[in-house]
Amino acid sequence: MSNFTCIECRKVVNSEAVGTRHRNHCPYCLWSRHVDVKPGDRVEPCQGMMEPTGLTFKGEGFDKYGKKRQGEIMIIHRCERCGKESKNRIAGDDNPEAILAICEKKDREEVKKQLFGKNF
């Protein structure tokens, strides 16, 4: 896959990054494009712009000792054209300030820990 230019912020985006195999969102502004039916297939006819609307955590639950386990950070995107929502893994080069900007207050400390380490 080749690099692409973000339609939202106009920056050139490297399509390869740590933490993602099928990059479809901009690491600078986090906007995406509705391009996939299945991850990486690039056959979705909608092609609408997908706004980053929030965060969620993949695989959250409890460990074998009953301690709460927080999963990895996922960006929630909503298509402006068709309304479909999807979740995308954050990539290693995603802008931490942009991620924190869409984070709910209740999740902010956990997100900071995952982005910056335990002693942020």
Tell me: the pLDDT tens digits for 18-69? 766 778 899 999 999 999 998 888 899 999 999 999 999 887 777 788 877 7
Residue 119 lies in a domain: no
Question: CA-to-CA distance for 41 and 18, rounded, in angstroms?
Answer: 20
pTM score of the predicted model: 0.83
Question: What domain range is 103 assigned to?
Answer: 4-113
The domain total for the chain is 1
Confidence grade of residue 3 (pLDDT, cut at 50, 70, 90): confident
Closest CA to 59 of 48, 70, 67, 50: 70
118 within a domain of the structure (yes/no): no
120 in a structural domain: no
